[in-house]
Amino acid sequence: MENFTPWTGLIGGLMIGLSSAFFLLTTGRISGISGIIEGAMEPGQSGYGWQIVYLLGLPLGATMVGMFLPQYLPEIKVTASWPVLALAGFIAGYGARLGNGCTSGHGVCGLPRLAPRSIISTVVFMSVAALTVFVTRHVF
């Protein structure tokens, strides 16, 4: 259990949940990040603009952690090569939109609603991701 951090995990998770609950009760919208990115790429639609502001908030929040709680800033380690990063990013983006959501929309927002599509999606992408890690770490 090396590097297991249950408390910061739980607190960070509660913050993600509070953010999603706040956004739902104020705007009526699901905090689905891949969908918000898609919306940010469609200038001209009515009500456009908040998606960009929301997405800018993500690194802003991370920056504030670094300013006020620097001891909680995690180390980031990326071991994947550039071609693998490009491939993974491309299919993660395409797949998330084909399936109408990713970890945030289906996982955090859909699962607690017991939405059947979100339950299926979360079980599938979790299982496939675990299988992918098994293959890349233990088979090859």
Site for another protein in 24-53 (CB under 8 A): 24-31, 33-34, 37-38, 41-42, 47, 49-51, 53
Shortest Å distance, C-beta 44 to another protein = 13
> How far is it, in rounded angstroms, from Cα 80 to Cα 122?
24
- Quick check: 15 binds another protein (CB under 8 A)? yes
Return the residue matching tokens 């509070």: 18
| Residue 31 DSSP SS3 | coil
Segment 56 to 115, residues that bind another protein, using CB under 8 A: 56-66, 69, 72-80, 82, 84-100, 102-104, 106-113, 115
Find where tokens 């999606």 sit: 121
Q: How far is the CB of 75 from another protein (least distance, A)?
A: 6
Collapsing DSSP to helix, strand or coil, 42 comes out as coil
